[in-house]
Structure 1
Amino acid sequence: MSEQPIIIRRKKKAAKGHHGGAWKIAFADFMTALMALFLVLWVLSNAGKGDKEAIAQYFSTPLLVALAHGDKSSASTSAIPGGGTDPNVSQGERVRKPPRSSRLSSEERRHLQALKQRLEDAVERDPKLRELKQQIAIELSPEGLRVQLLDTDKRPMFELGSAKVAPYMSQLLRTFAPVLNELRNRIQISGHTDSHPYAGGEATYSNWELSADRAKASRQELVAGGLDPDKLLRVSGMSDRIRLRGAGPYDAANRRIEIIVLDSQVAQRILDQDEYGIQAPPGSDHEPVSAPAQTPQ
């Protein structure tokens, strides 16, 4: 009888792979970063006030400004310009954008609308002034209440080619004066002409001088009628540079006096000269400047 062979099966144990020590590198990096953090905290705790401000300024400087070696003191603290409650102001850079056309506040509009009605009533009460209704245009504008006194060929407000006020124009201005005193708003007056060239040309007496003289003559009539002189903010001559809406260059209606009862915010911007970031020099007098003019009518 033959003997069967005995078979012994032995399982081979797989050898464990070597980890390579990668965790040691990660741990070393972590410890290095931690030590750097503690070092920075220790330096900051021992830094003076000036050093801390310099460090804060360094980190608040936008990257583009730093790369271009820009002015850190005037740079914005934000990478995104603007922000804040006022969209016209860019925080940090302190740049004021030119404001858009302002709108009258509801209270200001109400006061100016009431003033418009009182001016119209003053014209209606006087039979002589009532004849001038077609030459008087009163309307609200973004600057305030605009009163325009227009010429016609048949009934000019001034003598031909001069700043001598016609009698009915004088009466009209003196009637308006006490009514304009009712509000505290400042007033500006501008003279306008048509485009007919003045005899003698620009080198002598021109439309610039004529429109300025007519604006000043209107101011004198208003003050003579009782207008508070301190309410006047600006008196100027505009020549033929700003035509009446819808009028041709030689139309008589371009020869006009424009009185604006200014919105309080508009008046303040004129006083501050802040609309374009311009400020008057310290100690200088802010006086109205009369511009030149251009028309013989």
Structure 2
Amino acid sequence: MPPQSNNRPIIKKVKKVSGGHHGGNWKVAYADFMTAMMAFFLLLWILSVSDAEKLSGIADYFTPAAVPMVDISGFDPAAAPIRDALETQPPVPDLAQQELPPADPPPNATGKAANPWTAFEEGEAESLSDSPPHDGAADPLGAAQAAIEETMATGNPLESLAGNLMVARTPDGLLVEIVDLGDRPMFRSGSAEVTEVLARVLKEFSTVIAGTPMAVSITGHTDASPYRGRAGYGNWELSADRANAARRLLEESGVPADRFRSVGGMADVAPLIVEDPVDPRNRRITIELQPIAKP
């Protein structure tokens, strides 16, 4: 028997890996693919929620513009017609050296704030004898305006108070402003107590208002001076109380209660003299008269 050799064959066991092994490169490629898909779907979403105007602007932004090339070293034949047209245009006049026509005078050239009402200053009230008579049935507002203005004309009851009154026609009716001139206040200072001045005016007006089928709206106004009275009571409450006091006096003087449509206060938010919010004329009562529609 031959002797046994010590050189035995070496047998290695190979461990099989399920699915094979290809490294990590596929993960990077997959991540890039998912990122590109996310960007693509995000672009689709933005296009779906954008309106046509924004899409047109985006398209114009990415559209290359054709820029004409101009040879600055020599004469450009294409630019000649444009240059000739510019040279033949008449010169632009210098507006600073031109003589402009005189502008229309402002609505109120006396230095007072312009407003849409006709002011009747003391001694300036126009006599109604020169105006055509108003037909009360055809134009009740015109007849009421004529009657109110007549009470302020020379020799009539409110002649001395004409400076406190302003009367004007509006698209909706007739507007009467009773303003406070400081030396002739309408109310006691800081209260809604009517003075003799306002009582005289409202009693004269009540006859005109009661005799004409018109709805009445009253608004109170104050100046910008802060009210220094009890806590929780300011210019809003004061202006509303003064308007309601005027309503009560008109009703006591003969105006039917069903004629009143609104009574309120606006404090100092609508001044008559805008450039001077504390001017006494900003303290006023506004009476708006509107025709009552026939049923």
- TM-score using structure 2 length: 0.50
- TM-score using structure 1 length: 0.50
Question: Bigger relative contact order, structure 1 or 2, given CA contacts below 8 A and separation 6+?
Answer: 1
